Amino acid sequence: MSGRNISPNLALDQRIAERRARGERIVHLGFGESRLPVFPPLREALVEGAERNAYGPVAGAEDVRTAVAGWFGRRALPTTPDQVIVAPGSKALLLALQLVHPGDVLLPSPCWVTYRPQAVLAGKRALGVPVPAECGGVPDPDALRARIRRARAQGQRPGILVLTSPDNPTGTTAAPALIRELCGIAEEEELLVVSDEIYRDLLHDPRRPYLSPAEVLPHRTVVVTGLSKNLALGGWRIGAARFPADEDGRRLRDDVASVASENWSTLAGPMQQVAAYAFAEPPELRARLAADARLHARVAAAVYERFVAVGAVCRPPTGGFYVYPDFEPLRAVLARQGVSDDEGLQRLLEDHGVAVLAGRHFGDDPAALRFRAATSMLYGDTREEQRAAQQAVERGEDPLLLPHVAEVLGDLERALAKLTAV
Amino acid sequence: MSGRNISPNLALDQRIAERRARGERIVHLGFGESRLPVFPPLREALVEGAERNAYGPVAGAEDVRTAVAGWFGRRALPTTPDQVIVAPGSKALLLALQLVHPGDVLLPSPCWVTYRPQAVLAGKRALGVPVPAECGGVPDPDALRARIRRARAQGQRPGILVLTSPDNPTGTTAAPALIRELCGIAEEEELLVVSDEIYRDLLHDPRRPYLSPAEVLPHRTVVVTGLSKNLALGGWRIGAARFPADEDGRRLRDDVASVASENWSTLAGPMQQVAAYAFAEPPELRARLAADARLHARVAAAVYERFVAVGAVCRPPTGGFYVYPDFEPLRAVLARQGVSDDEGLQRLLEDHGVAVLAGRHFGDDPAALRFRAATSMLYGDTREEQRAAQQAVERGEDPLLLPHVAEVLGDLERALAKLTAV
């Protein structure tokens, strides 16, 4: 089992942190962390939760599961508390799901770095399917049908379909019609749909139509979410899953609870208090979240524009805080600098002071010149700068005009200009 | 994968909590939770850690790993920070170890409820070996040699030996000579020793000689520990592992970090702050821990005496907060009440208002009349009662004289008298 690596995004973040600690100036687009301060009422909930030092129920205490059920209910997914499990991150829930539900895993390609190694850890095959031209996070329907046929012909057993919207790494959102078509395939092929909706509250335009697969296929969809992205709480490790209400759904929930009880036991008590507060969505929290979503939208759009300006092809971001440019139109320019694949491009960018993560880590073709740029760490290195960025948005001002944001975007522009002007 | 169950101890605890919520009076010996208040400086550390909302390194931040390394160093195990991984509970680390290290798992029988299902989850065989007469937590050396021979003859591949001292479920401590003999076998048979030392700081007599397998076999021992038991923080989920310092140890640590990065990502930031404080062991914390260890010792001894008084056979507890009585001498009496196995005995005790966990859940022979009684939830149902129990010990008084403690022990006595006087 040696030769394992830690998740490449976490490894990159550690390397960049070390380079910065040595005083190097780097535009850090390499890590999908919302680098913003903790919203004070969340800290208060943590403190209130300190007395929760008993183990408590594996799936989470009643008050937490009730809050999570309400959260889903307000998103067109009526839910009872017994359909919910909370955990130290949605990642742990996704792994548990893969450990208990049989069959190989169909993944959009590119997709989040973790789905594939989790499938391997669970003894499954990861079957990548290209995403459509219009958005990432979900497979192209025709390609999905073909992949399933091919898989079955080869004796593989596709059992799980992972959909992510808005997605990581492309920062785009699947249209309702596309979700419906994919759900039709899942129903025909008897697949469990795992719908990763962790970026759902970070739609750049809150009026954008959103459809969860759980609305279409309630009996075969598990939805996972968490507080890491929308509330900038990655380091607090809070995730939740919603299981179908029927008999099969209850069995699946029990199976995941079984794995939970042998793995993480239960979400830490103080974090359960935080989850109970956050998933209840009091008005002050909604206001904070809405403003932060506008900040993410503005900065992601700015980074997108800078890649497109130098000739890259890129889907415009519509949710979360990622863009996924394709430097194919610049292949000749890059070839002159010895770059012919995505890791070469990642290295060249890093040499120019820009950290990104090559497409292969998301299951993409290594020969392509694609990478993910996470835009959520550009709000400032200090809490003061980050608060200033939030306050600019709150006041209706443009956060790009703040000197520290303008500076890092300037660094990015200069780096891109240099490596595309060779 | 259906038919999975949640860990039987967690399930029992949920059932008893529900019965108590309905107003039933039950002596709860069914769950190994230290039911004591959070020590206030730990709460302060949690609050200070609130700003740790970034993901941070998978293995844990430098300050935490340094504190844990110091903790091991003060226990005759010189350690550098890079030998350490922290996690949301030692359970998660134990599962990760089983997932990455090849070979089947040799377990003492009886042993903690979780090792066996974890082995199954990791695709391994769990090979139980009876414990010696003098203590639990470790296999009898002769039985271990025989079991390994038999396993190899059957084509099984023993690869891991789990040792627990002080142990759960017997509450006993392995003597240094025994540890040495077992380490000799591990060396001969090229086994990885996983030494679960989570109860190490809860020796009833702090002068009792203690030997960690990592002192004897530094190159092939991983030590796991946590704050759930000694600091009554089960619900906060904080665990740590120490890996060997050599090349193989580093590889194993990297493999576990890889699983961590795909499972729990990292220990929650505020909990890392708590761990940094607690593993540094400031004087006020040592005093708290020493007093709590005396409380555990006194109450465990009292429960032990009550079982022995009605005719059960039992090893005297020397660490942690468990006793593991054998009601074999009472088989005829129990048979008259329709009880012929451990689950029957557990049910009969529960009918008499005493919750325990039958031996089979620890891998013991179901036909035996053995069970585990956890004594750590007898300090009171309210924080005031629990504090009173702690304060009695601090003042050098006998906590058994407190009315609420005397009452629950009286309930236990009466229940035992009733079911042994038939």
DSSP one-letter string for B187-253? HHTTPEEEEE-TTGGGBSSTTS----HHHH-GGGEEEEEESTTTTS-GGG--EEEE--SSHHHHHHH
B263 and B306 housed in the same domain: no
Question: On the CB side of B96, how many CA atoms lie within 13 Å of its CA?
Answer: 34
**Distance, in angstroms, between A252 CA and closest chain B CA?**
7
A275 and A249 housed in the same domain: yes
**Cβ contacts of B6 on chain A, cutoff 8 Å:** 58, 254, 257-258, 260-261
Q: Which domain-ending residue is among B280, B312, B343?
A: B280
pLDDT above 70 coverage of chain B, percent: 99
User: Does B164 reside within a domain?
Assistant: yes
Per-window interface: B 26-65 vs A, CB < 8 A? 31, 33, 35, 37-38, 43, 46-47, 50-58
A202 and A56 housed in the same domain: yes
CATH number at residue A213: 3.40.640.10
User: Does B42 reside within a domain?
Assistant: no
A335 and A397 housed in the same domain: yes
Confidence (pLDDT) at A2: 38
What dihedral do alpha carbons B182, B184, B189, B192 form, nearest 10°? 60
User: Does B260 reside within a domain?
Assistant: yes
pLDDT-derived band at B379 (thresholds 50, 70, 90) equals very high
Rounded distance between C-alpha atoms, residue A267 and residue A56, angstroms: 9
A145 and A269 housed in the same domain: yes
Distances (CA, A) of B304 to A316, B201, B374: 69, 20, 11
Task: Return left, alpha or beta for A294; rule: phi > 0 is left, psi -120 to 50 is alpha, else beta.
Answer: alpha
Q: Please say if the pLDDT value at position B2 is more than 50.
A: no
A237 and A319 housed in the same domain: no
A227 and A90 housed in the same domain: yes
Give chain B's radius of gyration (CA, Å): 21
B271 and B292 housed in the same domain: no
Q: Is A234 on the interface with B (CB under 8 A)?
A: yes
Mean pLDDT, rounded, for B323-352: 97
Is the separation of the CB atoms in B354 and B27 below 8 Å? yes
Rounded distance between C-alpha atoms, residue A248 and residue B1, angstroms: 12
User: Does B342 reside within a domain?
Assistant: yes
pLDDT above 70 coverage of chain A, percent: 99
* pLDDT tens per residue, range A255-288: 999 999 999 999 999 999 999 999 999 999 999 9
Q: Please say if the pLDDT value at position A36 is more than 90.
A: yes
Q: Please say if the pLDDT value at position B1 is more than 90.
A: no
pLDDT-derived band at B4 (thresholds 50, 70, 90) equals low
B148 and B226 housed in the same domain: yes
Task: Please answer yes or no on whether B6 and A100 come within 8 Å at the CB atom.
Answer: no
Which of B121, B127, B60 shows the shortest CA–CA distance to B96?
B121
**Cβ contacts of A5 on chain B, cutoff 8 Å:** 254, 258
Q: How many residue pairs bridge chain A and chain B with CB atoms within 8 Å of each other?
A: 198
Q: Is A114 on the interface with B (CB under 8 A)?
A: yes
Task: Please answer yes or no on whether A258 and B232 come within 8 Å at the CB atom.
Answer: no
Q: Please say if the pLDDT value at position A203 is more than 50.
A: yes
Name, in order, each residue with C-beta under 8 angstroms of B28's C-beta and a sequence gap of 6 or more: B16, B20, B355, B377, B378
Question: Where is average pLDDT lowest: A20-29, A90-99, B230-239, B358-367?
Answer: A20-29
Q: Which domain-ending residue is among B246, B280, B314?
A: B280
CA dihedral sign, ordered B23, B24, B27, B32: negative
Rounded distance between C-alpha atoms, residue B39 and residue B274, angstroms: 11
User: Does B45 reside within a domain?
Assistant: no
CA dihedral sign, ordered B361, B363, B366, B368: negative
Partner residue facing B53 (CB), from A58, A234, A268? A234
CA dihedral sign, ordered A350, A354, A360, A364: negative
Mean pLDDT, rounded, for B240-264: 97
Is the separation of the CB atoms in B126 and B223 below 8 Å? no
Beta partners for residue A370, in sequence order: A326
Specify the 3-state DSSP secondary structure of B114: coil
Name, in order, each residue with C-beta under 8 angstroms of B282's C-beta and a sequence gap of 6 or more: B41
* pLDDT tens per residue, range B28-79: 999 999 999 999 999 999 999 999 999 889 999 999 999 999 999 999 999 9
Task: Return left, alpha or beta for A196; rule: phi > 0 is left, psi -120 to 50 is alpha, else beta.
Answer: beta
**Distance, in angstroms, between B50 CA and closest chain A CA?**
6
Domain holding B269, by residue range, is: 51-280
* pLDDT tens per residue, range A43-92: 999 999 999 999 889 999 999 999 999 999 999 999 999 999 999 999 99
**Cβ contacts of A114 on chain B, cutoff 8 Å:** 262
Mean pLDDT, rounded, for B352-377: 97
Residue A175: alpha-carbon gap to chain centroid: 17
Question: On the CB side of B64, how many CA atoms lie within 13 Å of its CA?
Answer: 29
The complex scores an ipTM of 0.94
Name, in order, each residue with C-beta under 8 angstroms of A62's C-beta and a sequence gap of 6 or more: A81
Task: Please answer yes or no on whether A259 and B121 come within 8 Å at the CB atom.
Answer: yes
Is the separation of the CB atoms in A55 and A265 below 8 Å? yes
Q: Please say if the pLDDT value at position A3 is more than 60.
A: no
Which of A283, A258, A204, A248 shows the shortest CA–CA distance to A85?
A258
Confidence (pLDDT) at B10: 79
Is the separation of the CB atoms in B102 and B266 below 8 Å? no
Q: Is B92 on the interface with A (CB under 8 A)?
A: yes
Chosen for mutation from A113, A263, A387 (greatest number of chain B CBs closer than 10 Å) is A263
Mean pLDDT, rounded, for B366-373: 98
User: Does B44 reside within a domain?
Assistant: no
Confidence (pLDDT) at A368: 98
Q: Is B229 on the interface with A (CB under 8 A)?
A: no
Rounded distance between C-alpha atoms, residue A233 and residue A37, angstroms: 9
Please give the backbone phi and psi of residue A57, each rounded to the nearest 5 degrees, phi first.
Answer: -65, 145
Rounded distance between C-alpha atoms, residue B191 and residue B185, angstroms: 8
Q: Which chain B residue's Cα is nearest to A232? A: B53
Q: Please say if the pLDDT value at position A27 is more than 80.
A: yes
Average pLDDT score, chain A: 96
Q: Please say if the pLDDT value at position A6 is more than 80.
A: no
User: Does B250 reside within a domain?
Assistant: yes
A94 and A23 housed in the same domain: no
Task: Please answer yes or no on whether A89 and B52 come within 8 Å at the CB atom.
Answer: no
Q: Please say if the pLDDT value at position B271 is more than 50.
A: yes
Question: On the CB side of B278, how many CA atoms lie within 13 Å of its CA?
Answer: 32
Chosen for mutation from B248, B261, B262, B288 (greatest number of chain A CBs closer than 10 Å) is B262
Distances (CA, A) of B86 to A220, B214, B276, B303: 36, 18, 10, 34
Mean pLDDT, rounded, for B294-303: 98
**Cβ contacts of B55 on chain A, cutoff 8 Å:** 10, 13, 31, 33, 234-235
Q: Please say if the pLDDT value at position A358 is more than 80.
A: yes
pLDDT-derived band at A14 (thresholds 50, 70, 90) equals confident
Q: Is A263 on the interface with B (CB under 8 A)?
A: yes
A116 and A200 housed in the same domain: yes
Q: Tokens at residue A251, please? A: 């069995």
Mean pLDDT, rounded, for B390-412: 98
Q: Which domain-ending residue is among A239, A262, A281?
A: A281
Q: Which chain A residue's Cα is nearest to B5? A: A258
Is the separation of the CB atoms in A65 and A84 below 8 Å? yes
Partner residue facing A55 (CB), from B46, B114, B234? B234
What is the helix (H) or strand (E) element at residue B357, kind and residue range?
Answer: strand B357-358
Q: Tokens at residue A47, please? A: 């403190």
Say which DSSP state A268 is in: -
CB atoms within 10 A of CB B130: 18
Say which DSSP state A110 is in: S
Rounded distance between C-alpha atoms, residue B416 and residue A65, angstroms: 39
What is the helix (H) or strand (E) element at residue B28, kind and residue range?
Answer: strand B27-28
pLDDT-derived band at B17 (thresholds 50, 70, 90) equals confident
Confidence (pLDDT) at A4: 64
Rounded distance between C-alpha atoms, residue A294 and residue A400, angstroms: 12
Using DSSP bridges, classify how beta strands B104-109 and B158-164 pair: parallel, antiparallel or unpaired. Answer: parallel
What dihedral do alpha carbons B76, B80, B85, B88 form, nearest 10°? 60
User: Does A94 reside within a domain?
Assistant: yes
User: How many folded domains does chain A comprise?
Assistant: 2
Which of B153, B221, B157 shows the shortest CA–CA distance to B187?
B221
B76 and B194 housed in the same domain: yes
Beta partners for residue A241, in sequence order: A85, A224
